[in-house]
Amino acid sequence: MNAATADISDIPGLMDAIGRQAVAAASVLAQTSTSAKNAALIAAAKAIREHCAMILAANAEDVQDAKDRGLSSALVDRLLLDEERVEAMSRGIEDIDALADPIGTVIAEWTRPNGLRIQRVRVPLGVVGIIYESRPNVTADAGALCLKSGNAVILRGGSESSRSSRAIHASLIAGLRSAGLPDSAIQIVPTTDRAAVGHMLAGMTDYIDVVVPRGGRSLVERVQREARVPVIGHLEGNCHVYVDGSADTKMATEIVLNAKLRRTGICGAAETVLIDRRFERAGDVVKALLDAGCAVRGDDTLQSLDARVTPAAESDWSTEYLDAIIAAKIVNGVDEATAHIAKYGSAHTESIVAQDQQAADRFLSRVDSAIVLHNASTQFADGGEFGMGAEIGISTDKFHARGPVGVEQLTSYKYVVRGAGQTRS
């Protein structure tokens, strides 16, 4: 069966056809030159610009539907496209064009005493499955990242954004065709039936090499429960800023404010501030947060510093607010801070503000998170800010990829060994 002509009510048959076509496309993409992949990206970016009106029309229908179904304004905003957001998608694809192609890179090479020359060479993973929710731009970002890294991709977006995603997908296909690459390099699951997600997680182990879920807690939990394929996980970001006794007050205040409030809805936003008992200006930091409109939930000491601080409950230490709320606690130095982070954190991103280099080194070494920072905001947790180009998310796993997941993290490697007739004794 061909996925393009498949009966979309026959989910197993449909997903099987999609999987087989993805594997076939992956073997083509693994051998595709950088210039052909880039040509497809440039053409896709151009097609998105040209079809902006069509994409916005499809999006308007999605948005109307979402409003009719009473979805929250936050969800509608995530769904909404305008000319600026469509242009940003095109530019995002052009940024991916500009990235170095990781495929074929020799990561390491050495020669053995018997003359064998060994190279470790970067290769694509194969077929990547992306399961995402309402943001239609993921269709463009994920499609382009997978193409650049030589992987075939199976995209399964949220039902709310299905018309928008299909319209964007049509432009990606136009890009593939103009470069002579198979349509099935970037497939979108043509049904919003949730059974399709189950197939991607557990029924397509022969086809899918890795699944990347992008979404809220219920999706992540479903993935953890059901996945029979490797997953690059994106758990929540319960990020911390620790203000050491040695911190500069102005720097501490600026970093805490930025880490919490620059954007509250991203996974790198700080959710708890830990303040060293020896830091004398805790009141200044708390006041700055409150004055900026942030609710502060603190322990007794912090409540005594400002009447606007409300009591923190045990659950606050593990909550990812994604809002203008912060939990705040006085701790006894760097060791109590790292112990608190180990107990309550999600191993995403944590920062220490300190002038004391030893305290900083101890924090950076002991905190086992994907990203640890000294004297910088947690909001830098971002592939672009790291100089890695676009990303598909921030992995909180330790396995395979940790931190920002960009083109390089979507690859594997193989060993290429060249000899002159060597046999093993």
Binding-site ranges for a second copy (CB under 8 A)? 27, 30-31, 110, 112, 116, 118, 123, 125-126, 205, 209-210, 224, 228, 230, 248, 251, 254-255, 257-259, 262, 342, 360, 364-366, 368-377, 379-380, 385-387, 397-400, 402-403, 412-424
Q: Read off the amino acid at residue 129.
A: G
Q: Which is nearer to a second copy, 307 or 420 (CB)?
A: 420
8 A C-beta contact, residue 182 and residue 36: no
Q: Pick between residue 30 and residue 76 the one whose CB is nearest to a second copy.
A: 30
CB 285 within 8 A of CB 243: yes
Nearer to a second copy, 72 or 423 (CB): 423
Judged by beta carbon, residue 313 or residue 342, the one nearer a second copy is 342
Residue 317: which of 302, 306, 327, 308 has the closest Cα? 327
Which regions of 133-269 does DSSP assign to beta strands (E)?
Answer: 152-156, 186-188, 210-214, 239-243
**Residues near 404 by Cβ (< 8 Å), separated by ≥ 6?**
381, 382, 383, 386, 388, 391, 393, 394, 395
Min CB(133)–a second copy separation in Å: 23
The token pair that represents 56 in the structure block: 């916005």
> How many residues are given for the chain?
425
Return phi, psi of residue 394, to 5°. -115, 115
User: Shortest approach of a second copy to residue 288 CB, angstroms?
Assistant: 13
- Cβ 270 to a second copy shortest distance, Å: 12
Burial (0-12, 13-18, 19+ Cβ within 10 Å), 247: buried
| Closer of 318 and 375 to a second copy (Cβ) | 375
- Tell the smallest beta-carbon distance from residue 418 to a second copy (Å): 5
Shortest Cβ 382–a second copy spacing (Å): 8
Whose Cβ is closer to a second copy: residue 57's or residue 399's?
A: 399
Q: How far is the CB of 48 from a second copy (least distance, A)?
A: 27
